[in-house]
Amino acid sequence: MKIRRTLSALCAAAVAAGAGLALAPAAHAAGTTSLASVLASDGDTFDRNWYDFDIVDQAVATVLAAKPGSPVAVLADGTVPLTAFIPNDRAFQVLAKDLTHRWYGSEQEVLTAIAGAVGVDAVEQVLLYHVVPGATIDSATALASSGASLTTAQGGTFKVKVWSKRYAIVQLKDQDRNDLDPFLVRSKLDLNAGNVQIAHGISLVLRPLDL
């Protein structure tokens, strides 16, 4: 089941979690195309391209199949402003290796391994930790915001560390102190630009706690 076919209502808790947002939204965003549509635009099946976003697409669908009222459905409601930091498929492959100590050769195996290792509830919390509700944060805003702390739909926070404005090198520092923190992927910035829901690809999975 693709997330663009699932619930579009936002859980009130997700909006409340964004109250501590430290960054101002991009003023020019006006469109209402949802991020779910963007994630599903290359098809709703796993493939062999490890640098797109099939696993996060399918992970959200898996959560909504098990928990239809989950606030991750906000990704399908293009009228709700938010910014998502989306791990590519390789990032989830690395997470699966960390959790299970095995390297999986297909995207479907990766998602199955992660869900089996931590459960659907934990997958839901990890996904929500990648969503900052209430603001459309474009890359220009992020590059001007080193040190900002973002409050996520999961309720936790992560920090923005800008290493280079010129080369758009931005790191996100999460709550797991034992693992590497992700960087924004320069070729995957401002996905869905012009809409109130925007996304940026990241190189590793953000962790709301020590996984």
Sheet holding 169-173, edge to edge: 149-151, 157-164, 169-173
d(CA 196, CA 68): 24
Mean pLDDT of the chain: 87
Beta bridge partners of 132: 83
The model's pLDDT over 5-52, given as tens digits with 9 standing for 90+, comes to 332 333 333 333 333 334 445 556 689 999 998 888 776 679 999 999
d(CA 93, CA 90): 5
The pLDDT value given to residue 139: 94
d(CA 149, CA 4): 30
Percent of the chain past pLDDT 70, that is, above it, reads 84
User: What amino acid is encoded at 59 in this protein?
Assistant: A
Q: How many CB atoms lie within 10 A of CB 15?
A: 17
> Which domains are present in the chain?
3-202 (2.30.180.10)
Identify which of 135, 169, 139, 140 has the alpha carbon closest to the alpha carbon of residue 152. Answer: 135
The pLDDT value given to residue 125: 97
The pLDDT value given to residue 26: 55
In this prediction, residues 76-87 reach a mean pLDDT of 96
pLDDT band, very low/low/confident/very high, at 58 (cuts 50, 70, 90): very high
Q: Give yes or no for residue 207 having a pLDDT over 90.
A: yes
d(CA 161, CA 150): 12
| pTM confidence score | 0.86
The pLDDT value given to residue 30: 83
What would the two tokens of residue 163 be? 């290493």
Q: Give yes or no for residue 211 having a pLDDT over 50.
A: yes
The model's pLDDT over 104-156, given as tens digits with 9 standing for 90+, comes to 999 999 999 999 999 999 999 999 999 999 989 999 999 999 999 999 999 99
Token pair 């992970």: residue = 59
The pLDDT value given to residue 128: 98
